[in-house]
């Protein structure tokens, strides 16, 4: 039976999603998330698609995309095939990662288009993985909120024009979370689950709770590196303490689950400086040449994996 022709054309706007085969995971680690986003960037460069927002969940992803040349299928096929090869090579297995072809919904309503990032960024909150969207690193929330500089392949500035800047986006996001703003009429038409129009209902207390406070996280970094908490908070650029200070920022975000801006504030950093530091951690081995830093990071990741305090 022939496949149903996909809705796409030059300049079409899409909500794109795919899930893991048999509802299994597709992102197993930070390394997997980084590789997937690298492939999205490659698709932007090769096929001319524009990506406006994203969220990577453990077993599925959402992308907000404009098919500038009407070639969405080609771009998404490259991403899916290359990512499947990457996962299989790392795991030593063979077979599908995704349950089939990606799904897409045309977005033709401006209200739907500008509400879609809020919906996507709240996925980890609704799944009770975090209690606030800013605590989740694998979405475009921090770029929309103005907490980090958007990568070149992510078209956030145009979205900001529709909101009136990052402040306007944050106001909309907050209104949705606090129940003052309902989703637009017929918004469910661009989603992939069967449900009627409704407000996003968030848990009053998320099941997921961070293992440590920010104070405990900084104390862990101090014990691990031998650098005092006071020194970690110093803004000087001396050779001693730079790598531990960067590690402290990373651990406040990943271990204590603070948003990047709040984590920067704890260390007396600017949000822009914090963004640059966190981006270096995504390129492990290419910056911060001290092997000791990556050894420390590995120890922290192992502690986090077993729920250590």
For the record, the structure tokens of 188 come out as 């469910």
Q: What is the DSSP letter of 121?
A: H
Longest alpha-carbon distance in the chain: 67
Taking the CB of residue 94, how many other CB atoms lie within 10 A of it? 9
Which domains does the chain possess? 12-190 (3.30.70.1290), 214-305 (1.10.1750.10)
Local mean pLDDT, 10-residue blocks, the chain (309 residues): 73 96 88 93 94 96 96 95 92 86 95 97 93 92 92 94 94 94 94 58 43 82 90 68 82 76 85 76 56 80 57
Q: Evaluate whether 256 touches 217 at the Cβ level (below 8 Å).
A: yes
Q: What is the DSSP letter of 20?
A: B
pTM assigned to the model: 0.67
At 152-174, the pLDDT tens digits run: 999 999 999 999 999 999 999 99
Residue 15 backbone dihedrals phi, psi, to 5 degrees: -105, 115
Q: What is the DSSP letter of 255?
A: T
At 172-197, the pLDDT tens digits run: 999 999 999 999 999 999 998 755 44
Residue 210 backbone dihedrals phi, psi, to 5 degrees: -65, 150
Q: Evaluate whether 15 touches 188 at the Cβ level (below 8 Å).
A: no
Q: Where are the alpha helices (DSSP H) in 196-290?
A: 214-225, 229-232, 242-254, 260-266, 271-281
At 231-265, the pLDDT tens digits run: 888 876 544 447 888 889 888 877 776 777 778 88
Dump the DSSP string for 145-194. TTSSPPPTTB-HHHHHHHHTSHHHHHHHHHHHHTTSSPPPTTGGGGSSS-
C-alpha 267, offset from chain centre: 23
């Amino acid at each position: 039976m022939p496949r149903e022709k996909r809705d796409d054309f030059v300049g079409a706007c899409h909500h794109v999603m795919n899930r893991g085969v048999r509802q299994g995971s597709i992102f197993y680690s930070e390394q997997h998330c980084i590789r997937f986003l690298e492939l999205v960037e490659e698709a932007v460069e090769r096929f001319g698609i524009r990506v406006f927002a994203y969220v990577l969940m453990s077993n599925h992803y959402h992308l907000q995309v404009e098919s500038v040349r009407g070639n969405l299928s080609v771009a998404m096929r490259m991403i899916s095939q290359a990512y499947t090869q990457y996962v299989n090579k790392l795991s030593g297995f063979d077979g599908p990662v995704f349950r089939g072809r990606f799904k897409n919904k045309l977005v033709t309503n401006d209200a739907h288009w500008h509400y879609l990032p809020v919906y996507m960024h709240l996925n980890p909150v609704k799944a009770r993985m975090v209690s606030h969207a800013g605590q989740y690193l694998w979405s475009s929330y921090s770029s929309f909120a103005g907490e980090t500089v958007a990568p070149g392949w992510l078209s956030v500035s145009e979205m900001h024009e529709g909101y009136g800047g990052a402040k306007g986006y944050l106001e909309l996001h907050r209104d949705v979370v606090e129940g003052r703003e309902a989703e637009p009429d017929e918004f469910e038409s661009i989603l992939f689950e069967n449900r009627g129009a409704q407000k996003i209902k968030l848990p009053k207390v998320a099941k997921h709770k961070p293992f440590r406070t920010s104070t405990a996280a900084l104390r862990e970094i101090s014990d691990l590196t031998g650098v005092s908490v006071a020194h970690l908070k110093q803004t000087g650029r001396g050779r001693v303490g730079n790598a531990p200070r960067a590690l402290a920022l990373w651990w406040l975000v990943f271990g204590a689950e603070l948003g990047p801006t709040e984590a920067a504030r704890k260390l007396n950093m600017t949000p822009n400086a914090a963004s640059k530091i966190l981006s270096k951690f995504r390129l492990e081995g290419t910056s911060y040449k001290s092997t000791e830093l990556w050894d420390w990071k590995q120890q922290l990741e192992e502690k986090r994996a077993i729920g250590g305090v």
